[in-house]
Amino acid sequence: GKRKDLFIMTLPVTIFTWIMAVLPILVLLVLMVKLQMGAVKAAPIGLCVSAVSALIVYKASIPHVFMEMLKGVWSALPILIVVWTAILLYEVVNEAKAFQVFRKSMGKVTQNELLQIMLLAWVFTSFLQGITGFGVPVAVGAPLLIGIGMRPFWAVIIPLLAHTWGNTYGTLGAAWDSLAIQANMVDNVAMLNATSLWATAFIWIWNFTSGMMLCWFYGKGKALKKGFPAVLVISTIHGGGQMLVSQFNATLACFVPTVVAIGAIVVLGRTPWYKDPWRVEESPVMDRSAGSAEEEDAPEEMSVLQAFLPYIVLTILTLVILLVKPIKEFLGQVKLGFAFPGMVTGYGYEDPAADPFSPLAIFTHAGMFLLVSAIFGFFYFKSKGWLHEDSGAMIGRRTVKKTIPSSISVICFIAMSKVMGGTGQTTVMAQGIAGVMGEAYVALSPIVGLLGSFMTSSNMASNILFGSFQLATANFLGLNPAPVLGAQTAGGAIGAAICPGNIVLGCTTAGIMGQEGKVLQKVLPITLAAAAIVGVIMYVTCILL
């Protein structure tokens, strides 16, 4: 950390350099939120703005900017592999008409439509976040919700908000581990546990809020009243369970509560309050007209277990490979990565050499589990006669058509974040905020985490980007670093709902590409408000008390 701090000192933090650092993000927000531009058009513009700023204001050379862009392309690959394979898996299941079977079977769990939505949009997506992450919950959740009659726009927004609480300890603790490394907490158990308590407390508040919002969107006050007992039970399991388990095992802190919550919602569906048919007829999020014809189309002899088999394979594969240490270590040996030279700007800000840079562990990556599950599903459904001769070609065509636009936007978003990070723009942005705010900065610490997620499309990358900065700022201001770091990753989790990568993924599988700006416009105020509430709690507990 020391060497980088020396270089930070040489960066001029002025009003002008700060505005130029913030400009790429402002441009993106204006294009996507205000002008409703799709991600595929807005992302390249944001990238160009960051590159021009790097060259002219931040004194980076053309080779330096080019190298950062190449790093962006490489860093986008792990996300893109998930995009491609998640959509492939969805297309296989969809072609076999398994979603219709799944939809029909929902009535066996509960006749209560609100509880069905909770099961899919909140409980199941959180379970997927616990094991895979990388946008898979939104990519898989959106089509499932459309399958039970939800409008595509809402089928993206609701799981986007509902799954993100699992973003710090999900993917078997990936984002949390990156924060622990960045903030030098790995061997400091007391600080690790204290930070964990703060983080999980903030995340619990967000989890409860997103559960209540799901009810509100579905049917305002009527649905809030009906859904409140279920939200209370599930949020206690999710939030409280994560808080408890994180003190012993960060790897399973999200996964274990999400498994318990699946059992809990099945039990809730049998209780007198939820077992009878119930729905809000005029719900703005539902369009039930599309459903009935499709249901008749469902293969008669396919059971719900068979319909869901590819996702069961996905779960088992992920758990076995990632939790059985010898298997994980053996498969994790195969890594692909390239060496990148160190680069220094005219101001002496260094982006150190990396050999290899961000290596990709091919066989332990979520994309591999999705690919195997898709291939398994294809041959299984074909052997049962649920896929015909030209099904393979149709699945392939639809997958390619859906993934090309999203691939362009994800590459540009991440290349932009690399250019900003590698040329000192991100550092100036954060330093400027801390310098102006002083102690009151603690109120902004979750917003910084949220901003990191928005910029990089990942809570893990946000923790890597800002973890050491948040620690340094807390120390510089003489504050307890545990709540500041907890707020960083909680803000990053909330910010996962506005990750361009997640929004693009959801819009792609829901079939509403080009509406990313509309989705962002809806979720942005909610996430900012949630991060601001965490900030207020931070300010009261850290400064006033």
Report the distance separating Cα 422 and Cα 425, nearest Å: 8
Over residues 144-192, the pLDDT tens digits come to: 898 888 999 999 999 999 999 999 998 778 788 888 877 778 778 899 9
* Per-residue pLDDT reduced to its tens digit, 334-370: 898 889 999 999 998 888 898 888 888 889 887 888 8
CB hemisphere CA count around 495 (13 angstroms): 30
- The enclosing H or E element of 344 equals strand 343-344
How, if at all, do strands 354-361 and 343-344 pair?
A: unpaired
The span from the CA of 462 to the CA of 378, in Å, is 36
Q: Is the pLDDT of residue 6 over 60?
A: no
DSSP string, 185-252: -TT-HHHHHHHHHHHHHHHHHHHHHHHHHHHHHHHHHHHHHHHHHHHHHHHIIIIIHHHHHHTT-GGG
Reported confidence tier of residue 290, pLDDT bands at 50, 70, 90 = low
| pLDDT on residue 108 | 78
Q: Is the dihedral of CA 508, 509, 511, 516 positive or negative?
A: negative
With beta carbons less than 8 A apart as the criterion, state whether 227 and 235 touch.
no
Helix or strand or coil: residue 35? Answer: coil
CA triplet 120, 122, 126: central angle to 5 degrees? 105
pLDDT exceeding 90 applies to what percent of the chain? Answer: 48
What global pTM score does this model have?
0.79
CB neighbour class for 372 (10 Å; exposed up to 12, middle 13-18, buried from 19): middle
| DSSP3 helix / strand / coil % (the chain, rounded to 5) | 80, 5, 20
Tokens of 402: 């859906």
Q: How far apart are CA 310 and CA 514, in angstroms?
A: 29
Nearest CA among 61, 2, 167, 141 for reference residue 423: 61
Q: How confident is the model at residue 291 (pLDDT cuts 50, 70, 90)?
A: low
pLDDT of residue 107: 73
Give the strand pairing for 350-351 and 354-361.
Answer: unpaired
Rounded Cα gap, residues 352 and 340, in angstroms: 9
Q: What is the pLDDT of residue 295?
A: 54
- Do residues 395 and 95 touch, judged by C-beta distance below 8 A? yes
Band (52; pLDDT cuts 50, 70, 90): very high
CA distance 145 to 147: 5
Instruction: Specify the higher pLDDT residue, 81 or 486.
Output: 486
CB-based burial of residue 424 (10 Å sphere; 0-12 exposed, 13-18 middle, 19+ buried)? Answer: buried
Contact criterion met (CB below 8 Å) for 138 and 505? yes
Q: How far is CA 211 from the centre of its chain?
A: 17
Q: Which residue has the tokens 């599988």?
A: 509
Name the DSSP letter for residue 167. Answer: G
- Give the helix ranges, DSSP H, for 237-308: 241-246, 255-268, 291-296, 304-307
Indicate the SS3 state at residue 78: helix
Q: How many other CB atoms are found less than 10 A from the CB of residue 61? A: 15
The residues facing 344 across adjacent strands are 350
* pLDDT range class, residue 522, cuts 50, 70, 90: very high
CA distance 253 to 202: 15
The model's confidence at residue 288, banded by pLDDT at 50, 70 and 90, is confident
What region, left, alpha or beta, does residue 220 occupy, with left being phi > 0 and alpha being psi -120 to 50 degrees? left
d(CA 458, CA 492): 8
What is the SS3 assignment for 390? coil
- Decide which of 333 and 471 is more confident: 333
Angle subtended at Cα 174 by Cα 168 and Cα 180, rounded to the nearest 5 degrees = 80
Token look-up 């408890």 returns 244
For the stretch 363-381, pLDDT in tens is: 988 788 889 999 999 999 9
The answer to whether the CB of 209 falls within 8 A of the CB of 537 is no
Q: What's the rounded Cα separation, in Å, for the pair 237 and 232?
A: 9
Residue with tokens 């393979």: 392
Taking the CB of residue 329, how many other CB atoms lie within 10 A of it?
A: 10
Of the candidates 47, 10, 113, which has an alpha carbon nearest to the alpha carbon of residue 431?
A: 10
Report CA torsion sign: 169, 171, 172, 178. Answer: negative
10 has which bridge partners?
none
Among the listed residues 477, 489, 381, the one whose alpha carbon sits nearest the alpha carbon of residue 435: 477
Structure token digits, residue 319 = 């758990």
pLDDT tens-digit readout, 425-477: 988 887 887 788 888 888 999 998 998 888 777 888 788 777 877 887 888 77
